[in-house]
Every structure is written in C-alpha cells, then in structure tokens.
C-alpha cells in the first residue's frame, strides 16, 4: 500500500450566490413578520408621538370575578401635551350589549413630567353571562398647531359569569317522614271551644242587628277620598322636599331613602304619562316607555335613577356618598326636564270701536 498517495478531499456542497441572497431575504421577512405579529397580539394602548390612549377596568374590580348585574367601572385616559386638548365621547345609555349606568364628566390634570391626563369613568352592567368586548371608542386630540387626530381606544374583554351554582348532581329521594299519631283529645277540646266562639259571634251579630233596627240609626257620613288636583310636578317637588327633610342618609337609612325617592318618581310618571308605574317593574316600565313618544334622554334619566334604586334595594349595592346626597337633586332635575313648558297666552285684541 502506498501511504504517500494524495488523499481525496471531502465532499463539499457549494451553493450559488443567488441561493444565499434568497435565504437572507427570507430570514429577514420572517423576522419582520414575527415583530409585527407580536405588536398585533399584545396591544397595550393606541398612541401617537403626541398622545396615548388607555382603556381599562379599574384594578379593584378587575381582581374579582364579574357576575351578572355587577357594576363595572371602566376608565378611559388620554396622556397628551399640556398645550393640546382632548375630547372624550359621551356614551349612549344603551351601548350595544352594555347598559351604561353612569359616566363622569371628563377631567384634565397636569402630570409632574409636564404632560396632562384627560380621563373619565364609564360604569356599565350586563345582565347575561358570556364573553363580551367593549364597542369601539374614538377620542379626538386637538394639537396646539390647530390640527387634530382621532385615536381609537383599546378593546376590553370581559367574562361575565352567572350567580347560579353549577350543582347538577342527582340525589336519592329522601324517605318518607314518620310522624306520630296525634292525640284525639286536643281536637275535641278545640272543637268545643270553636263552637262556643261561633255561638258567641252569632249571638253578637243578632244583637247588633236588633240594636240597629231599634235605634234606626242613620248611616255614618263616610268622608270622600281626597283627590290631589295639583300638577304632577308640584306634587313631586313637595314629596321630594318632605323626603329631604327626613334626613334619612344621616341616619344610615339608605335603602329607605332610595325607596321613597323611587316611589315619588313612579307616582310622578303615573301622573305625567298615565302609566301604571307603581305596579310595574323597571324593565316593564322601560318597555311601556317605548310605546310612547317620550325623548330617549328623559327615558334614560328615569331608568338610571330607578335602576340605581333597584340595585340598592334588591342587590345590596352600597352607593357612594356623593350618589346618596345627590339623589334628590337628580330626581328634581328629571322632574324639571320632563315638565312641559306652558304655552304663552296671546293677549285678546280689544274690540274695534264702532264709528259714531
């Protein structure tokens, strides 16, 4: 064997230059796609170099599971330069599948870093379990140079669970209870006493009829029921003044305070719109309003106060102090807004003098 023979080089694959460039471009495209996908999957806020929008559930409520009928407080905030202004939208009472219970007016505060924050709270509630997403919210940012832009707030996903339990296990029927046979003597004694009572009542009725026949007494004058002929708004204001004078919030009688104000509004609705509001639930009253030509803002104002009262009376909702103290003023505002303005009386023209 010749150990000094030249060895053959190993097999080496040579790629053409075009293939290397293609692989480099493909790797660049894949990296760019991964970055864009990450940005799309994890949106935090809608922002521009001048303003940033955040829309979130307040932390105290986000940590607890949300159930049907809960009041969910959403916070909308926009961070922007101090010299610019932000216009926040006014959400409708029926916000697609959400029912808006309350929303605060926008407030702007100045931050320590020289920027400003404009925000508002939107309190909503849902009455069916399931997965929900907030509708599209757009804010307007007016810059200092006179131009403006529209920014979309992030979408909030909410999981609403039912308050009912999931216990569906079938259990065996309990055996029939064994009761001891009752004694007979209590029935005998009870029957004897009952017969004495009936006999006494019968004798008393006969004596009363005989006395009426002997004396020929005239029928007593029964007073007629008093009908309040004052206008509904006058009655409502008088009742609200009476409730305010009771001072129930100072005595921690919040539920009674809300109940009296709700009954006052229902009595006013009966007098103003001829609806049996005292005999209907809040949902039935909302349906009845839809058959009338009542402005939606008036219906929403009534429904907001009545729904808030229902939450306090039946759902053990603890309202805030400012909500309790402003309840009567809000009720007065609704009454004043729905009171029709009297038409002006045209002066009667004097009769023309007859020419002599």
38-52 pLDDT, tens digit each: 444 344 344 455 789
* Arithmetic mean of pLDDT, 303-330: 89
Can you give the pLDDT at residue 55?
92
State the burial class of residue 36 (Cβ atoms within 10 Å of its Cβ: 0-12, 13-18, 19+): exposed
Collapsed DSSP state (helix, strand, coil) of residue 212: helix
Task: Express each pLDDT in 27-36 by its tens digit.
Answer: 778 877 665 5
The encoded tokens of residue 113 equal 């870093």
Is the distance from CB of 282 to CB of 303 less than 8 angstroms? yes
55: part of which helix (H) or strand (E)?
strand 52-57
Can you give the pLDDT at residue 217?
47
pLDDT above 70 as % of the chain: 80
User: How many of the other CB atoms lie within 10 Å of CB of 56?
Assistant: 15
The encoded tokens of residue 157 equal 């996903």
CATH of domain 46-161: 2.60.40.680
User: How many of the other CB atoms lie within 10 Å of CB of 303?
Assistant: 19
266: part of which helix (H) or strand (E)?
helix 254-273
Angle value at C-alpha 105, between 101 and 108, nearest 5 degrees: 140
Query: Which of 11-15, 56-60, 89-93, 185-189 comes out lowest in average pLDDT?
Result: 11-15
159: part of which helix (H) or strand (E)?
strand 157-161
User: How many of the other CB atoms lie within 10 Å of CB of 327?
Assistant: 25
Say which residue, 147 or 27, is predicted with more confidence: 147
Task: Express each pLDDT in 270-297 by its tens digit.
Answer: 999 999 988 999 999 999 898 888 899 9
b (16+ CB within 10 A) / e for 58-90: eeeeeeeebeeebbbbbbbbbbbeeebbbebbe
How many angstroms separate the CA atoms of 262 and 245, rounded?
A: 16
pTM value? 0.38
The answer, yes or no, to whether residue 230 has pLDDT greater than 70, is: yes
How many angstroms separate the CA atoms of 253 and 148, rounded?
A: 50
State the burial class of residue 252 (Cβ atoms within 10 Å of its Cβ: 0-12, 13-18, 19+): exposed
Can you give the pLDDT at residue 350?
58
The answer, yes or no, to whether residue 12 has pLDDT greater than 50, is: no
Hey, where are the domains in the chain? 46-161, 232-338
Query: Which of 168-177, 185-194, 199-208 comes out lowest in average pLDDT?
Result: 168-177
Say which residue, 215 or 313, is predicted with more confidence: 313
Q: How many alpha carbons lie under 13 Å from residue 259 in its C-beta half-sphere?
A: 7
The encoded tokens of residue 141 equal 């940012």
Say which residue, 340 or 61, is predicted with more confidence: 340
Can you give the pLDDT at residue 3?
44
Q: How sure is the predictor about 118, in pLDDT bands with cuts at 50, 70 and 90?
A: very high
Can you give the pLDDT at residue 173?
83
The answer, yes or no, to whether residue 349 has pLDDT greater than 70, is: no
Is the distance from CB of 93 to CB of 101 less than 8 angstroms? no
Q: How sure is the predictor about 347, in pLDDT bands with cuts at 50, 70 and 90?
A: low
């Amino acid at each position: 064997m010749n150990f000094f023979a030249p060895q053959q080089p190993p097999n080496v694959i040579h790629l053409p230059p075009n293939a290397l460039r293609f692989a480099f471009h493909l790797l660049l495209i894949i990296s760019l796609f991964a970055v864009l996908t990450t940005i799309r999957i994890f949106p935090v806020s809608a922002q521009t170099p001048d303003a940033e929008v955040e829309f979130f559930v307040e932390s105290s409520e986000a940590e607890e599971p949300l159930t049907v009928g809960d009041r969910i407080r959403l916070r909308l905030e926009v961070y922007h330069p101090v010299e610019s202004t932000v216009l926040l939208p006014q959400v409708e009472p029926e916000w697609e599948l959400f029912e808006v219970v309350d929303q605060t007016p926008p407030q702007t505060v100045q931050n320590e870093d020289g920027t400003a924050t404009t925000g508002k709270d939107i309190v909503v509630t849902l009455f069916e379990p399931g997965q929900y997403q907030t509708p599209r919210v757009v804010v307007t940012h007016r810059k200092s140079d006179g131009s403006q832009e529209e920014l979309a707030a992030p979408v909030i996903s909410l999981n609403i669970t039912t308050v009912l339990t999931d216990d569906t296990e079938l259990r065996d029927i309990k055996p029939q209870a064994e009761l001891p046979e009752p004694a007979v003597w209590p029935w005998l004694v009870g029957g004897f006493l009952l017969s004495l009572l009936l006999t006494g009542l019968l004798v008393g009725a006969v004596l009363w009829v005989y006395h009426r026949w002997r004396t020929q007494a005239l029928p007593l004058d029964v007073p007629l029921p008093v009908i309040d002929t004052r206008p509904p708004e006058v009655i409502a204001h008088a009742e609200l003044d009476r409730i305010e004078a009771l001072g129930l919030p100072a005595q921690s009688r919040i539920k009674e305070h809300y109940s009296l104000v709700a009954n006052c509004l229902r009595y006013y609705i009966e007098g103003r719109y001829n609806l049996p509001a005292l005999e209907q639930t809040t949902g039935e009253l909302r349906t009845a309003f839809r058959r009338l030509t009542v402005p939606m803002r008036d219906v929403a104002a009534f429904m907001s106060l009545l729904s808030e009262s229902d939450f306090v009376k039946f759902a053990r909702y603890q309202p805030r102090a400012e909500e309790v103290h402003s309840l009567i003023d809000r009720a007065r505002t609704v009454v004043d807004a729905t009171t029709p303005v009297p038409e002006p009386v045209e002066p009667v023209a004097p009769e023309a003098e007859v020419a002599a």
